[in-house]
Amino acid sequence: MGEPMKAVATTPPSNGACVGKSVEMWFPNLNVYEASLEEIRQGRKNMKEAIQICSTCNVRVQCLEYALSWERHGIWGGTSESERESMRRKNNIPFLRPSIQELGLGFNRATTH
Protein backbone atom coordinates (compact mmCIF):
# COMPACT_ATOMS: atom_id res chain seq x y z
CA MET A 1 0.00 0.00 0.00
CA GLY A 2 2.90 2.47 -0.48
CA GLU A 3 3.12 5.56 1.72
CA PRO A 4 1.25 5.65 5.02
CA MET A 5 -2.10 7.38 4.76
CA LYS A 6 -2.30 10.89 6.15
CA ALA A 7 -5.54 12.15 7.63
CA VAL A 8 -5.90 15.71 6.36
CA ALA A 9 -9.48 16.21 5.21
CA THR A 10 -11.71 18.24 7.54
CA THR A 11 -15.06 17.56 5.85
CA PRO A 12 -16.43 14.43 4.22
CA PRO A 13 -16.86 14.36 0.45
CA SER A 14 -20.38 15.31 -0.63
CA ASN A 15 -20.41 13.42 -3.91
CA GLY A 16 -19.85 9.83 -2.84
CA ALA A 17 -21.70 6.71 -3.88
CA CYS A 18 -23.41 6.80 -0.46
CA VAL A 19 -25.35 9.99 -1.21
CA GLY A 20 -29.07 9.28 -1.00
CA LYS A 21 -28.68 5.87 0.65
CA SER A 22 -30.22 4.95 4.01
CA VAL A 23 -28.26 6.15 7.07
CA GLU A 24 -28.82 2.77 8.76
CA MET A 25 -26.62 1.18 6.12
CA TRP A 26 -23.60 3.24 7.20
CA PHE A 27 -24.25 3.15 10.95
CA PRO A 28 -25.33 -0.41 11.77
CA ASN A 29 -26.26 -1.20 15.37
CA LEU A 30 -24.13 -4.22 16.27
CA ASN A 31 -24.29 -3.69 20.04
CA VAL A 32 -25.37 -6.98 21.58
CA TYR A 33 -26.58 -5.14 24.69
CA GLU A 34 -28.94 -2.84 22.76
CA ALA A 35 -29.98 -4.60 19.56
CA SER A 36 -32.01 -7.75 19.04
CA LEU A 37 -30.49 -10.70 17.19
CA GLU A 38 -32.48 -9.74 14.09
CA GLU A 39 -31.25 -6.12 14.30
CA ILE A 40 -27.67 -7.36 14.58
CA ARG A 41 -28.13 -9.64 11.56
CA GLN A 42 -29.60 -6.75 9.58
CA GLY A 43 -26.77 -4.48 10.77
CA ARG A 44 -24.14 -6.94 9.53
CA LYS A 45 -25.93 -7.23 6.20
CA ASN A 46 -26.10 -3.42 5.92
CA MET A 47 -22.44 -3.13 6.82
CA LYS A 48 -21.39 -5.55 4.08
CA GLU A 49 -23.55 -3.73 1.55
CA ALA A 50 -22.12 -0.34 2.60
CA ILE A 51 -18.55 -1.60 2.25
CA GLN A 52 -19.40 -2.98 -1.21
CA ILE A 53 -20.81 0.40 -2.27
CA CYS A 54 -17.68 2.12 -0.93
CA SER A 55 -15.47 -0.19 -2.96
CA THR A 56 -16.89 1.30 -6.16
CA CYS A 57 -16.87 4.93 -5.00
CA ASN A 58 -14.67 7.52 -6.72
CA VAL A 59 -14.10 9.47 -3.46
CA ARG A 60 -13.41 6.50 -1.18
CA VAL A 61 -9.86 7.58 -0.35
CA GLN A 62 -10.91 11.14 0.51
CA CYS A 63 -13.74 9.78 2.66
CA LEU A 64 -11.34 7.52 4.53
CA GLU A 65 -8.87 10.36 5.04
CA TYR A 66 -11.64 12.44 6.59
CA ALA A 67 -12.91 9.61 8.78
CA LEU A 68 -9.51 8.74 10.18
CA SER A 69 -9.42 12.05 12.02
CA TRP A 70 -13.08 12.86 12.54
CA GLU A 71 -15.31 9.76 12.71
CA ARG A 72 -15.26 6.99 15.28
CA HIS A 73 -18.56 5.40 14.28
CA GLY A 74 -19.98 3.97 11.10
CA ILE A 75 -18.67 2.84 7.75
CA TRP A 76 -16.46 5.42 6.06
CA GLY A 77 -14.25 4.90 3.03
CA GLY A 78 -15.06 1.20 3.05
CA THR A 79 -13.73 0.65 6.57
CA SER A 80 -15.28 -0.29 9.87
CA GLU A 81 -14.72 1.45 13.19
CA SER A 82 -12.14 -1.11 14.31
CA GLU A 83 -10.29 -1.00 10.99
CA ARG A 84 -9.93 2.78 11.24
CA GLU A 85 -8.79 2.58 14.85
CA SER A 86 -6.11 0.11 13.79
CA MET A 87 -5.02 2.44 10.96
CA ARG A 88 -4.83 5.37 13.39
CA ARG A 89 -2.58 3.46 15.76
CA LYS A 90 -0.40 1.99 13.00
CA ASN A 91 0.10 5.33 11.24
CA ASN A 92 0.08 7.53 14.36
CA ILE A 93 -2.91 9.55 13.11
CA PRO A 94 -4.49 11.66 15.84
CA PHE A 95 -8.25 11.67 16.32
CA LEU A 96 -9.23 15.34 16.07
CA ARG A 97 -12.95 15.43 16.89
CA PRO A 98 -13.24 16.95 20.36
CA SER A 99 -14.92 14.97 23.09
CA ILE A 100 -18.00 16.27 24.86
CA GLN A 101 -15.79 17.17 27.81
CA GLU A 102 -13.48 19.17 25.57
CA LEU A 103 -16.44 21.05 24.18
CA GLY A 104 -17.21 22.16 27.71
CA LEU A 105 -20.77 20.91 27.82
CA GLY A 106 -20.49 19.85 31.42
CA PHE A 107 -20.98 16.14 30.70
CA ASN A 108 -18.86 13.91 32.92
CA ARG A 109 -18.77 10.29 31.80
CA ALA A 110 -17.38 9.18 35.15
CA THR A 111 -20.54 10.30 36.95
CA THR A 112 -23.13 9.09 34.43
CA HIS A 113 -22.60 5.33 34.65
The Cα–Cα gap between 78 and 99 comes to: 24
pLDDT value for 58: 96
Rounded to the nearest 10 degrees, how much is the dihedral formed by the CA atoms of 20, 13, 88, 81?
A: 0
pLDDT value for 30: 85
pLDDT value for 53: 97
The Cα–Cα gap between 27 and 45 comes to: 12
Tens digit of each residue's pLDDT, the chain (113 residues)? 445 555 566 788 899 999 999 888 999 888 888 889 999 999 999 999 999 999 999 999 999 999 998 898 999 999 999 999 999 999 998 888 777 666 666 544 444 43
Question: Which residue type occupies 13?
Answer: P
Strand partners, 79: 76
Environment class of 84 (CB within 10 Å of its CB; exposed 0-12, middle 13-18, buried 19+):
buried
